[in-house]
Amino acid sequence: MEFVEPDDEPHRYRELPAPDDRVWRHPSEIGLPRPSGRRQLWAVGLASALAASLLSTGLAVLAGNLLHAGDGNGRGASTSGVLPVPSLAGARADIVSIADRARPATVQLKVDKGRGVSGSGVIFRSDGHVLTNAHVVEGATSVTAVLATGREVAARILGSDTDSDIAVVKIEGGPYPAIELGSTTDLKVGQEAIAIGSPLGLSGGPSVTVGVVSALHRWVRTRTGQSLMDMVQTDAPIAPGSSGGALLDAGGRVIGITTAVAMTDTGAEGFGFATPVEAAKSAAEQLIATGKVVTVWLGVEGSDLDGATAQTLHVDGGALVERVKTDSPAERAGMTARDVIVSMNGAPVTSMGMLVVAVRSHRPGDVCTIEVVRDDQRHAMKVTIAERPPGS
């Protein structure tokens, strides 16, 4: 199977190309799938690199298939342009109403990387700040935002963070309609999810697809060993060019920035992944303020606690510490190899992935309480989170 590469440019096509040159097929051209032997599952996107020993899903990710396609600190931007959203109140989503509100805040990003490629973005501040993926704008010499009305506006990159795969671009003018950032805190598997973006560089404004939240806290790995962590998984269809678009809840609030789509050797697997809005907002705030994201660390390496040991220790899971780095926050707090981290600030930690995400939610200088199991006894220790030293 041929994969859509990051720099492919489907929006250049103005007339029907030959079947072998297309990333889509007319229904009349689709036959029964041929049996395949070993199916390889890839997910698309870029994210932060982690040691392979920390990964537990076994889901391989192909960087590039999803066509590389919060408000900040509350100062310097009006929030009057934020579009109102209704209370969820347990009701099903009004898709038409949500689409009417979300489309004006969704942009197509035309990115020049030597040749034109296409991605998506979400206006989250009325002064023209746009959230997108780092891989969408990586290597760009120029960026143009196409509004839902079709008007093109020059954009500049304020900064990007490859660890979270989040970037912020600024479009001039305004005020613009901005959509509200929500939360994944109370998100449940099975809730409705609405994806909005600009697939395949098509003209005519953003596209809306509907599905459900099919899983939470997913970890998927790129073929180069890079990782997408704590992903929101959805079966809402996500096409190339939608990377950097929004995943919305039933109230029309952003719960994630679409980053990846799973594929097999026979085509799309039918589910995609979004970076949680909390991670996107944290990265965006720092990028707007300083142009970079500070990476924090605990200073441990390890793996997920196996089921048998978890049962013996009477815990639901945990992060097994295999190495504590010299002069790290963990070492200064007294953590040692073979400790099992089971909670952080009272919130359960059932895997190494959950630990990494929990640590990343903090800033340098934050003091956290980490509970570990050591020699069948629970111990609480105070850890001061620090910025990761270069090369560590």
Higher pLDDT, 138 or 80: 138
Least confident range of 61-75, 105-119, 305-319, 363-377? 61-75
Q: Establish whether 243 is a catalytic residue.
A: yes
* Selected catalytic residue, list 8, 161, 165, 235: 165
Least confident range of 82-96, 207-221, 343-357? 82-96
pLDDT for res 228: 75
Q: Establish whether 165 is a catalytic residue.
A: yes
Q: How far is CA 10 from CA 4, 239, 266, in A?
A: 9, 11, 20
Locus of tokens 């200064």: 332
Least confident range of 2-6, 23-27, 256-260? 2-6
Q: Establish whether 217 is a catalytic residue.
A: no
Length of the chain: 392
* Selected catalytic residue, list 11, 129, 135, 362: 135
pTM above 0.75, yes or no: no
pLDDT for res 114: 81
Q: Does the 1-24+37-290 domain belong in CATH 2.40.10.120?
A: yes
**CA–CA gap between residue 327 and residue 336 (Å, rounded):** 12
Pick the CATH number of 296-387 from 2.30.42.10, 3.20.20.80, 3.40.50.720, 1.10.760.10: 2.30.42.10
Decide if 1-24+37-290 and 296-387 have a common fold: no
Relative to beta strand 207-222, strand 60-61 is: parallel
pLDDT for res 193: 95
**Token pair for 240:** 């190339």
pLDDT for res 253: 95
Residue 52 phi, psi (nearest 5): -60, -25
Segment 215-247, tens digit of pLDDT: 988 877 655 455 777 889 999 988 878 889 999
Segment 327-386, tens digit of pLDDT: 999 999 999 999 999 999 999 998 887 898 889 888 899 999 999 999 989 999 999 999
pLDDT for res 50: 30
CA quadruple 252, 253, 259, 260: dihedral sign: negative
SS (H, E, C) the chain: CCCCCCCCCHHHCCCCCCHHHCCCCCHHHCCCCCCCCCCCCEEECCCCECCHHHCCCCCEEECCCCCCCCCCCCCCCCCCCECCCCCCCCCCCCHHHHHHHHHHHEEEEEEECCCEEEEEEEEEECCCEEEECHHHHCCCCEEEEECCCCCEEEEEEEEEECCCCEEEEEECCCCCCECCECCCCCCCCCCEEEEEECHHHCCCCCEEEEEEEEEEEEEEEECCCEEEEEEEEECCCCCCCCCCCEEECCCCCEEEEEEEEEEECCEEEEEEEEEEHHHHHHHHHHHHHHCCCCCEECCEEEEECCHHHHHHHCCCCCEEEEEECCCCHHHHHCCCCCCEEEEECCEECCCHHHHHHHHHCCCCCCEEEEEEEECCEEEEEEEECEECCCCC
pLDDT for res 222: 52
pLDDT for res 240: 78
Query: How much is the average pLDDT of 244-260?
Result: 93
**CA–CA gap between residue 295 and residue 282 (Å, rounded):** 11
pLDDT at 14 over 50: no
**CA–CA gap between residue 277 and residue 255 (Å, rounded):** 5
pLDDT for res 264: 63
* Selected catalytic residue, list 118, 207, 214, 243: 243
Relative to beta strand 340-344, strand 367-374 is: antiparallel
Could you tell me which residues are beta bridge partners of residue 367?
384
Q: Indicate the domain borders of the chain.
A: 1-24+37-290, 296-387
pLDDT at 202 over 90: no
Relative to beta strand 192-197, strand 267-276 is: unpaired
